[in-house]
Amino acid sequence: MRFWKMNGAGNDFIIINNMVEHLPETCFPTLARTLCERHLSIGADGLMIVDAPLQGGDYRMLFFNSDGSLGEMCGNGARCICRYGYENGLAGEIQRVETTAGLVTGHRIDQRLYRIRLNDPTTVRLDAPVVIDGVRYECSYLELGDPGLPHAVVPYPNLAQADENALRELGRKIRFYPEFPKGANVNFCELTGEDEVFERTFERGVEDFTYACGTGTGCVVTALTLMGKVSGRQVRVNMTGGQLIVDVDLQGSTVQNLYLTGPTNIVCKGEVTDEELSLN
Ligand SMILES: N[C@H](CCC[C@H](N)C(=O)O)C(=O)O
């Protein structure tokens, strides 16, 4: 079984082309759990399966988190998969990717830089405070696409200096907050300059911080734009693994287009030989 390992700003993925491998869909959760384990196998935040299109796109993308759960979408994953699609001749410089959350269009800017148009927000609750251990945190809740990928946006002062373990525990509690029916990816953020944000995301399905989260940055910049705190133009979001740029087109208070731009890295291309892997 051939695979590529890629990352987008440090959010890393294993990619398998199922138009070549012909694996049964039922094995994908186990495949993700096995291959994404960082000590026992290749290691990644998620597994992406490329498959034949069903709705007129260039191809279809299925995204599985490292715990085997299906994610509706993945912004950094979609940017990486666009490079995979381009370099494997599945699509041209502008491409249409079918995701579980709906169609995503991708644009090759240069060899490593890719921009995608993220799914439009389908739920935006700017005022969705959470109370954790008696402390109230201002929070927004957004979903991108349909069915929507859930995100909480939590402003957090002095984020870069925050105690890692305390932040992780808080992230976990908000991720499972009972008022978020699907759970949520939890994006802690702090404005660090004009149109510049620092962000750390505790991800559902990885159940820890990842180095970057593309849909998370899209939601952070959407919320901050609607609150009037950033312009929505070329907003720079810095995360552990690098920088992503987000553009938000507003029509009144409705988001019309949400773009995510950032780097991709092909780490290796290889063959899976994991002797512990069972496809049943
Ligand atoms: N890291 C991803 C999001 C993965 C979504 C996943 N954690 C879920 O909630 O299913 C991104 O770049 O947008």
46 closest CA partner among 23, 80, 84: 80
Which pLDDT band, with edges at 50, 70 and 90, does 278 fall under? confident
Average pLDDT over residues 263-276: 97
| Shortest-distance atom of ligand 1 to CA 218 | 13
Average pLDDT over residues 193-211: 98
**Domain 121-262 classified CATH 3.20.20.70?**
no
Binding site membership of 204 for ligand 1 (Cβ less than 6 Å): yes
pLDDT at 235 over 90: yes
pLDDT at 268 over 90: yes
Q: Say what percent of the chain tops pLDDT 90.
A: 98
Residue 178: burial class (beta carbons within 10 Å; 0-12, 13-18, 19+)? exposed
Which pLDDT band, with edges at 50, 70 and 90, does 230 fall under? very high
pLDDT value of position 83: 98
Q: Report how far ligand 1's centroid is from the alpha carbon of 11 (Å).
A: 9
Look at residue 144 and give its three-state secondary structure: strand
Q: List Cα–Cα distances, 218 to 50, 102, 136, 166, in angstroms.
A: 23, 16, 24, 25
Task: Find residue 150's DSSP bridge partners.
Answer: 143
Which residues are CB-neighbours of 132 under 8 A, at least 6 positions away?
170, 173, 174, 177
Task: Find residue 203's DSSP bridge partners.
Answer: 208
Average pLDDT over residues 46-63: 98
pLDDT value of position 258: 98
Binding site membership of 203 for ligand 1 (Cβ less than 6 Å): yes
pLDDT value of position 150: 98
Average pLDDT over residues 5-17: 98
Hey, what CATH topology would domain 2-116+265-271 get? Diaminopimelate Epimerase; Chain A, domain 1 (3.10.310)
Q: Report how far ligand 1's centroid is from the alpha carbon of 7 (Å).
A: 13
* DSSP tag of 43: -
Mean pLDDT, rounded, of the chain: 97
CA distance 267 to 105: 24
pLDDT at 269 over 80: yes
CA distance 271 to 263: 24
Instruction: Indicate the Cα dihedral angle 247, 186, 9, 205, nearest 10°.
Output: -130
This prediction has a pTM of 0.98
Q: Which two structure tokens, joined as six digits, stand for 210? A: 């990842």
Average pLDDT over residues 152-176: 98
Which pLDDT band, with edges at 50, 70 and 90, does 50 fall under? very high
Q: In the chain, which ranges are continuous DSSP H helix?
A: 18-21, 28-35, 75-87, 164-175, 214-226
Q: Is 65 annotated as a binding residue?
A: yes
Catalytic residue among 74, 80, 82, 139: 74
Q: Say what percent of the chain tops pLDDT 70.
A: 100
Q: In 148-258, which ranges are continuous DSSP H helix?
A: 164-175, 214-226
Active-site residue, 74 included = yes
Cβ–Cβ under 8 Å, residues 226 and 89: no
Which pLDDT band, with edges at 50, 70 and 90, does 279 fall under? confident
pLDDT at 199 over 90: yes
The torsion region of residue 207 among left (phi > 0), alpha (psi -120 to 50) and beta comes to left
47 closest CA partner among 9, 4, 106: 4
Average pLDDT over residues 233-259: 96
pLDDT value of position 123: 97
pLDDT at 280 over 80: no
Which pLDDT band, with edges at 50, 70 and 90, does 96 fall under? very high
Query: Which helix (H) or strand (E) is 60 found in, with range?
Result: strand 59-65
* DSSP tag of 147: T
Which pLDDT band, with edges at 50, 70 and 90, does 197 fall under? very high
Query: What is the ipTM, given to two decimal places?
Result: 0.98
CATH code 3.10.310.10 region(s) in the chain: 2-116+265-271, 121-262
